[in-house]
Structure 1
Amino acid sequence: MMWKALCLGLCLLVSGCGASIDEYQSATPKIDIFQYFNGQSRAWGMVQDFSGKQIRRFEVTIRGEVLGETLTLHEQFVYDDGEKQTRVWQIRRQQDGSYVGTANDIIGTATGHAAGNAFNWRYQMEVKTDSSSYRLNFDDWIYQQDAQHLLNVTSLKKFGIEVARVTIFFNKEHDGGQ
């Protein structure tokens, strides 16, 4: 019996006790990433290492365009050390309500699901450091706070172990016609 409990505990530790997207089904306001990201938005965020220490900060300018069942996001990152990055997402809404996406620096295809005020987005990315690079699994949880604001918490994992965390605050900019 002790052996089974130890194995169960180890499995939970390695796999994590993540939330299920279905747990947010009744939470409001309902998230619609196509509606929220259509137009201009800005975001501010930070990267924390495995110990919780803030290691980077950044600002992102985002321009989104919806054409049919595809959302194209043009993201311009500026980091506190002056580094700049561009990412262009192509996100397609599937008939079953799920999402798939690709971007210039993402490995393979991202997958997403929405329920209530939450959107869960998972993908792999090669993250470069000064001395090397690492293939990490990203597990984004985006929460709609109100019509203008989203909060995103991302776990970056290697071999199932969290090595970093990203927190991002999004603000929807009003266009003249909104």
Structure 2
Amino acid sequence: MFLLRTVLFLLLAAGLAAPVSAKTLVLEEFFKGRTVGKGVFESRIAGVNRPFTVYLNGQWDPKTFTLRLREDFVYDDGERDTKTWFFQKVADGRYVGQRSDVIAPANVRTTSDGAIRFSYIAQLETENGPLLLRFDDTLEQVNRRTVRNTARVMKAGFTIGTVELTFTK
């Protein structure tokens, strides 16, 4: 047993073995209560680099299996916005997500590697009228206090930007 532990430790230290304790992200566990995210929307096509902070407040209702997740965005340029997601748990590792600016419910699923993935189309209001954008999100738990969110932002099937966001408890 000692030899097995020593070999495993050496492999992990050398980066040759995956960590055994990779944790599956559970939305209602991580996002319950207060969370802060720091991120940036970046579009090389449009020459945009827009940092922001998002303050989240998550409330889990065990009777309806619903996570209400309020997001208060503060952009570095001073703009503010609020969005509220409702994630209803429909099975272990599966949710349906809804938000007022999202066109259709998003199917949210936990992947075999413990990450959460979902895709949705959001309608953003601009000075030139509404704009429909698709977001493909991946959330990965880094440790018990940190989740990384990466998203591709697409218009008409073409990637126009990315979102990199780190949530911390």
TM-score by length of 1: 0.76
Which residue does 1:73 correspond to in 2? Answer: 69
Q: CA RMSD in A?
A: 1.9
Deviation per CA, 1:47-104: give whole Å up to 9, x if none: 1114495521110110101112110101100111111111111101113642101112
Give the alignment partner of residue 111 of structure 1, picking from 104, 107, 115: 107
The structure showing larger relative contact order (alpha-carbon pairs under 8 Å, at least 6 residues apart) is 1
Identity level (%)? 29
Which residue does 2:152 correspond to in 1? Answer: 155
1:45 Cα deviation from its structure 2 partner: 0.7
Deviation per CA, 1:109-132: give whole Å up to 9, x if none: 111101333100211101234444
Which residue does 2:9 correspond to in 1? Answer: none
In 1, Cα distance between equivalents of 2:117 and 2:152: 11
In 1, Cα distance between equivalents of 2:99 and 2:130: 18
In 2, Cα distance between equivalents of 1:53 and 1:29: 36
SS at match of 1:81: coil
Gaps of 5+ in 1: 1-25, 173-178
Cα separation, partners in 2 of 1:27 and 1:129, compared to 1, 3 Å: farther
Q: How many residues align?
A: 147
**Which runs of structure 2 are paired with 1:119-130 in the superposition (5 Å)?**
119-130=116-127
Gaps of 5+ in 2: 1-19
TM-score by length of 2: 0.80
Give the alignment partner of residue 134 of structure 1, picking from 123, 128, 131: 131
The one-letter code matched in structure 1 to 2:76 is D
Check conservation: 2:26, 2:93, Cα contact below 8 A: no
**Which runs of structure 2 are paired with 1:81-120 in the superposition (5 Å)?**
81-95=77-91, 97-115=93-111, 116-120=113-117
The one-letter code matched in structure 2 to 1:106 is V
In 2, Cα distance between equivalents of 1:36 and 1:77: 19
Which residue does 1:63 correspond to in 2? Answer: 57
In 2, Cα distance between equivalents of 1:113 and 1:52: 31
